[in-house]
Amino acid sequence: MNARVAKAGWGRAAVLWAAAFGVLVLPACTTPVTSATVPQAAAPSATGALLPRNVVIPLSAVQGFFPEISQELATGWNSTASGSPTATRSVAYTNSDGTKKVTISADEYATAADAAAGYQKAVELSNAVPDVKAVPAPNLGEQAFAGSVTKDGQTHVGVGVLDGTMVLGATTAGYDANPENIAKLMAVVAAEVAAVKNR
């Protein structure tokens, strides 16, 4: 599939979905965009601070749930975080041919109230995505929201979690939104929540 055609097909929906969960959500056949090409839902922190890389679970942990994921594609500041985080980290993983992606983000806020505001903004943005469907989210953190959207044969499932001063997100791209894949994504999020709590 032509990357430009794929990007054009998603348009505003992809950007809103990315902002909603604080992760880079793009059609599985395109290359990831950078903070220069995705409108920001958050202003960078005054220091542009990055959370340590180990705040996001490693490739080996992701492979425990999605064995076909074979490499880390990109990592850096989460340009689509909601609200005003003090520091963030986003990591995208992919399979060998780039048709499947798992992206995980962690956004830290100065206070629990700031984190709650960022989380609520993310939920509002997710509800604005055309054709988004709610997905049941298990008890993860203090609050959790999940949804899926499919357009032009491309499916994305995203989860957002509020936990204290953190907002965590995870998204799959290129996977069907079936119960098995959703359960795997929820397990990834649970592992990420545990990693953040234990850091």
SS3 of residue 13 by DSSP: helix
User: Measured between alpha carbons, how far is 126 from 156 in angstroms, rounded to an integer?
Assistant: 12
Sign of CA dihedral 58, 59, 62, 63: negative
DSSP string, 120-150: HHHHHHHHTSTT-EE----S-SSEEEEEEEE
Helices (H) and strands (E) in the chain, counts: 4, 7
Enclosing domain of residue 78? 3-197
User: pLDDT tens digit string along 85-112?
Assistant: 999 999 999 999 999 999 999 999 999 9
The pLDDT value given to residue 48: 64
Over residues 122-180, the pLDDT tens digits come to: 888 887 778 888 888 878 888 999 999 888 788 999 999 999 999 999 999 999 999 99
DSSP 78: -
- What's the CATH code of the domain at 8? 3.40.1000
Between CA 90 and CA 97, with CA 92 as vertex, the angle to 5 degrees is 170
Q: How many structural domains does the chain have?
A: 1
The Cα–Cα gap between 33 and 180 comes to 28
pTM of the model: 0.79
